[in-house]
Amino acid sequence: MLQLGIFTAYFPCALEETARRIRAHGFNTVQIDLSFKDLDLSDANITPANCKKVRDIFRSHDLPVCAVSGYTNLVHPDPVRRKQNIDRLKTILRRARELGTPYVISETGTFDPDSDWVHHPKNKTEEGYALCRDVIAELVQCAREYGAVFCVETYVNNVIGSVAETQRLFTDIADPCLGLLMDPTNYFEAHNIGDMDAELGRIFDALSGYVKIAHAKDVKLAASDQGVQLADIDAGEGHALRGVGRIELPSPGLGSLNYDFYLRRLWRDHPNIPIIIEHLDEADVPRAKRFLDGKLKENGC
């Protein structure tokens, strides 16, 4: 059966209180964000002792860690910022096993200087792809040295966003220390959201063999361009994102994603994979979990 979890960032409080609140909702796994109100996890403080503290707290609440968030812009147009981003991600990869999991996840980023979520023309050039591929190869090498797996989360406005771009990346870097985060909502744009089931089939047919962890949010088409939509929550911008342009990315059950198709196919290919709820605030957690629990039961997953 699929394992249902949630990001820790939607519970903005101290470490142990975060674990207590998540467990009270009945989750049995977490993707951890390195941001707790009572624990400094800046680069220099991702130490063995702090990693053990985080890992042990979640284990003591019966919440094994399935993945670590390392989200950053891998191709930031400012070389200094890009190096800072990559260096932090390498630090997380080195400590991933000490945090309780080999899997560290990030999107690939965009060359836009002002936002990590909007398209930039360079994203779809050979130069842009080559830079991104080389950064990922460097991260995969780091992951291999420390027994970790770097997982790419694709997103349509980033350098690696389409099914074809994802296939190309995994062909160019054919390494077991490179994995894929499955979130089908990240592949939808105005031109393909109307072909939901066929697109879901194409995504899984092409990419399922690379998948290590799955996410649960939703997707729907807005009537007009909404720009970058951010929720007013106490969390980083990645967790506050609710859509770009005409594509809205709400909490699970509030959009048009065919969850029956998604969960059945995920279960067929990966019957024990963790699926992590996102794009919500703490008040919406009970509704979102009821929705996912219901769909998992209906589909025998």
- Write out pLDDT tens, residues 83-132: 999 999 999 999 999 999 999 999 999 999 998 989 999 999 999 999 99
Q: Which of 221-225, 248-252, 263-267 has the lowest mean pLDDT?
A: 221-225
The mean pLDDT value of the chain amounts to: 97
Q: Where are the chain's structural domains?
A: 3-217+256-298
Cα distances (Å, whole numbers) of residue 26 to 9, 289, 290, 300: 17, 9, 10, 19
In this prediction, residues 200-219 reach a mean pLDDT of: 98
Cα distances (Å, whole numbers) of residue 101 to 67, 92, 171, 235: 6, 11, 25, 23
Q: CATH number of the domain at 3-217+256-298, please?
A: 3.20.20.150
* Phi and psi, residue 251, nearest 5°: -65, 155
In this prediction, residues 240-258 reach a mean pLDDT of: 95
Residue 300 has pLDDT above 90, yes or no: yes
In this prediction, residues 227-234 reach a mean pLDDT of: 89
Provide the pLDDT for residue 234.
87
Cα 74 to Cα 111: distance, rounded to the nearest angstrom: 9
Provide the pLDDT for residue 240.
85
Tens digits of per-residue pLDDT, 46-59? 999 999 999 999 99
Identify the band that residue 212 occupies on the pLDDT scale cut at 50, 70 and 90: very high
- Nearest by Cα to 207 from 265, 247, 156, 150: 265
Cα 142 to Cα 240: distance, rounded to the nearest angstrom: 29
- Nearest by Cα to 33 from 61, 49, 3, 13: 13
Cα 243 to Cα 69: distance, rounded to the nearest angstrom: 20
In this prediction, residues 222-244 reach a mean pLDDT of: 89
Cα 88 to Cα 3: distance, rounded to the nearest angstrom: 29
